[in-house]
Every structure is written in C-alpha cells, then in structure tokens.
C-alpha cells in the first residue's frame, strides 16, 4: 500500500469507534512467522469465548476468525510485515457489520501487537506517515552555516561551512570605511556560497516541502531579504527561527523551536494550492479542471500539472461485471456501490474496489503530473470538497 493510500486509510480507521472493547488490532513485524501469529490468535479466540457480554463476545470471536482466515491467504509474511484491523463497524445498535482492513505498509513494522479496544491502535502506522513530511533547515550566522534535512524527527546534516567573514571590530590601522566595505563584500560572498549549496541540495530534494531559516543575529534576515536563493527554493521558505547557536546545536535548537511553524506549514501549503486552484477557476479561461471525468480526460491528454484530491472524498473506483457486457470500471460514492449496466439495466456484480486516490496514483504515472491531497479541515478544503473533491491545475487550456 502506498503512503498516500495509507494516510487516507489511517484517517478512516481513526474515525471508527467500537460500542465496546471489541475492535481488534494485530501487528505482525517484518520477518515474523505468520503461522505463529495464527496460533496465538487461535488461543486468543479461546480466551475471547469467556467474554461475558454475548454481542461483544460474538463480535470479537468473529473478528479473530476473519483475521485468522485472512492470514492463511499468505504464503509468507509480506516484506514489511502486516497490520490487520477488524471489528464491528455498524452504526446501528445490535447490528453487526464485521469488516477487515488489512495493511501491507510501505515501511517495515517493528511492533508486535494483539490488542482489543474501542478504537484501533494506529500509532505505528501514523509514525510512518509522519516521517514523510520532510523539511529543510538552513542554520547560519556570519561564522558558520549548516544545511540539513528534517525527516520526521530525524535531523540529517548535509552541508557544513565555516566562513572567514571577520567580526565588526577591525584590526587597528585599517580605514574603517574600507574595512566595512571589505567585510560587506565577504558577507555577500558567504551568503552566495550558502545559497548555492542550498539551491543544489533543495533542487535535488523536491520532497522537502518547507524550509526554515535559522540562526543567531540578523544574517539570516539578510539572506532572505536579498534573495540569494533561486525563486523555486525560496518559495519553500516557511519562516525563520532565532537560535542561540549555529552548528549541530543550532540545528537541534531550530527543530525544538519550530513546532508551530511546522504545524502551520502543511496547512499553509494546502491553502496555497487551493487558492491557486480557485484563482484559476474564477478566471474566464482558467487553467483548471474539476470532477473525476474532466480531470481524467485532461490527464490522458497530458495537460495536467497537478491533480488535487480531497481526503474527505468518499468515493471509490469500483470494478463491475455485467453478465452480458463484461467488465467496467466506475467512480461511485461509497454508499452508491450498487450500479446497473448502462446498456442492459442489469444490476452488475462488484469485483473489486479501490480508493480514488489510489486510482489517480496510477493514472498520473508517465505524465510527469504531481498528485496532492488536501484535507477538508480548512475553509478552502471544504469548498473544494463541495466542488467534487477532485480537481486539476492544467499546463495549458484544453
């Protein structure tokens, strides 16, 4: 499962609440024997038979049954392990709708867990998604500069420079004006050098969604004010942080002090993207498309720069089979899965389904198109969802 699909699923699983302690979570670490897990779960099933409340007992036992049966489908443990979530998701009291959500994650599972609760245990998966928010740090003053990549909680130092820019106090005997000029020139060269390294690094690391400029003193402000970096890189700057140190201490201090900045930045990024979308939408010939059909058409013409999909969109791509007219795929809202064949009006059989986002992940391949998801937590995000929840920024008018 891709990260983007996992992100959506985690959100969905996080919203499920059991009526009782009856939602079952199982984590199987990479390399761990599924056979052993299966044996353990069978014994847990025996324990669950002792649960006093009859409906709870029934739900837990059936969930375990479903999980065990699913595990038996595997010949061996998937490369990164396996996470299984199963329980009664019915919103009606007394009704049972036991559903299983298997996850083969994009990164190795390290936790081994069997847990029964009113909610699913999602932290190990949430960690995997969080890691994907990648930021850049440029920590500098007039004497040294460090450039690092922040991936989740990990700081990866990439570049370190020491400068030869002297302090403001000059050696005796020099003309103060001349000294100031020389110093100014050296400072500019220094900032150019830092900017060149930043351009190169962040030019290569496109996954860096935001860059923080930190350091003690005003040098970081000059660095931003005088546009030393390429526009494409400086656009990603999300703010500055004052630190007491530079060097490795400075990098750590930057991370400690940028909590709010990082939280805001993913929201801001989303807002900016949607603002661009709505700006284009309001122009007479705006470079924009919306609605699943329109976006796919534009995509297949190679006209799409960025596809935007709302995380709030409750739509699936379903594969159907009509006994007379064969296979067909349709995008339908989750509660309207029963569909008739347009040609013969027969109700079709559902063969399989996947999230819209997964479908787009596949479709954007080969077109150099970016795929972005947005939440529906912001006002713009809500508007976008009302508009259908799927949109595209175009490269040219179609």
**C-beta of 198 vs 322, nearer to Zn ion:** 322
**C-beta of 275 vs 324, nearer to Zn ion:** 324
**C-beta of 131 vs 321, nearer to Zn ion:** 321
Residue 338 has φ and ψ, to the nearest 5°, of -70, 115
Residue 167 has φ and ψ, to the nearest 5°, of -70, 175
Nearest approach in angstroms of CB 261 to Zn ion is 55
**132/208 Cα distance (integer angstroms):** 9
DSSP labels for 154-178? Answer: EEEEEEEEE-----SSPPTTS-HHH
**C-beta of 180 vs 327, nearer to Zn ion:** 327
Integer CA distances (angstroms), 145 to 6, 15, 120, 153, 251, in order:
37, 44, 44, 21, 10
The structure tokens listed for 45 are 């099933």
Nearest approach in angstroms of CB 330 to Zn ion is 13
Q: How far is CA 309 from the centre of its chain?
A: 12
**327/81 Cα distance (integer angstroms):** 33
Which strands form 208-215's sheet, in the order they lie side by side? Answer: 154-162, 144-151, 134-140, 208-215, 237-242
β-bridge partners, 150: 135, 155
Number of residues in the chain: 398
**C-beta of 348 vs 390, nearer to Zn ion:** 348
Nearest approach in angstroms of CB 354 to Zn ion is 22
3-state secondary structure of 350: strand
Instruction: Outline where DSSP puts E strands in 39-122.
Output: 82-88, 98-103, 113-117
Instruction: With CA atoms as reference, report the closest residue to 273 among 299, 301, 235.
Output: 235
Nearest approach in angstroms of CB 324 to Zn ion is 4
Nearest approach in angstroms of CB 326 to Zn ion is 8
Q: What is the H or E stretch that residue 41 is in?
A: helix 34-48
**C-beta of 158 vs 341, nearer to Zn ion:** 341
**70/103 Cα distance (integer angstroms):** 11
Instruction: With CA atoms as reference, report the closest residue to 194 among 231, 240, 162.
Output: 162
Residue nearest to Zn ion (CB): 341
Residue 92 has φ and ψ, to the nearest 5°, of -90, 130
**C-beta of 261 vs 322, nearer to Zn ion:** 322
**C-beta of 2 vs 323, nearer to Zn ion:** 323
Which residues here bind Zn ion, judged by CB under 5 A?
A: 322, 324-325, 341, 343-344
Nearest approach in angstroms of CB 320 to Zn ion is 9
DSSP state, residue 395: S
Nearest approach in angstroms of CB 343 to Zn ion is 5
**C-beta of 244 vs 345, nearer to Zn ion:** 345
Nearest approach in angstroms of CB 353 to Zn ion is 19
Nearest approach in angstroms of CB 338 to Zn ion is 14
């Amino acid at each position: 499962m891709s990260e983007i699909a996992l992100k959506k699923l985690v959100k969905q699983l996080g919203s499920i609440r059991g009526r009782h302690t009856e939602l079952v979570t199982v984590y199987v670490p990479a390399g761990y024997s599924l056979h052993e897990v299966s044996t353990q779960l069978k014994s847990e099933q025996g324990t669950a038979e002792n649960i006093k409340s009859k409906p709870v007992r029934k739900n837990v036992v059936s969930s375990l049954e479903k999980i065990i049966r699913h595990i038996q489908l595997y010949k061996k443990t998937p490369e990164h392990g396996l996470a299984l979530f199963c329980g009664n998701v019915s919103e009606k009291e007394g009704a049972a709708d036991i559903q299983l959500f298997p996850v083969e994650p994009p990164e190795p599972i390290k936790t081994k867990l069997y847990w029964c609760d009113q909610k699913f245990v999602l932290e190990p998966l949430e960690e995997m998604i969080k890691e994907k928010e990648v930021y850049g740090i440029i920590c500098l003053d007039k004497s040294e500069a460090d450039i690092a990549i922040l991936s989740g909680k990990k700081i990866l130092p990439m570049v370190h420079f020491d400068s030869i820019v002297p302090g403001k106090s000059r050696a005796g005997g020099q003309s103060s004006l001349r000294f100031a000029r020389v110093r100014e020139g050296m400072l500019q060269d220094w900032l150019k050098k830092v900017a060149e390294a930043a351009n190169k690094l962040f030019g290569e690391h496109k996954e860096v969604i935001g860059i923080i400029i930190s350091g003690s003193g005003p040098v970081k402000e000059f660095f931003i004010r005088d546009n030393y970096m390429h526009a494409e890189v400086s656009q990603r700057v999300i703010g500055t942080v004052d630190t007491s140190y530079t060097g490795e201490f400075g990098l750590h201090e930057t991370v400690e002090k940028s909590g709010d900045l990082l939280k805001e930045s993913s929201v801001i990024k989303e807002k900016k993207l949607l603002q661009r979308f709505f700006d284009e939408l309001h122009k007479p010939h705006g470079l924009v498309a919306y609605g699943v059909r329109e976006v796919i058409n534009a995509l297949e013409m190679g006209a799409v720069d960025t596809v935007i999909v709302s995380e709030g969109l409750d739509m699936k791509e379903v594969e159907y089979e009509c006994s007379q007219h064969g296979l067909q795929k349709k995008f339908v809202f989750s509660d309207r899965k029963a569909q008739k064949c347009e040609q013969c009006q027969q109700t079709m059989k559902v063969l399989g389904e996947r999230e819209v986002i997964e479908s787009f992940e596949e479709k954007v391949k080969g077109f150099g198109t970016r795929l972005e998801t947005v939440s529906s937590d912001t006002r713009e995000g809500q508007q976008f969802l009302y508009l259908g929840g799927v949109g595209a920024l175009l490269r040219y008018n179609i």
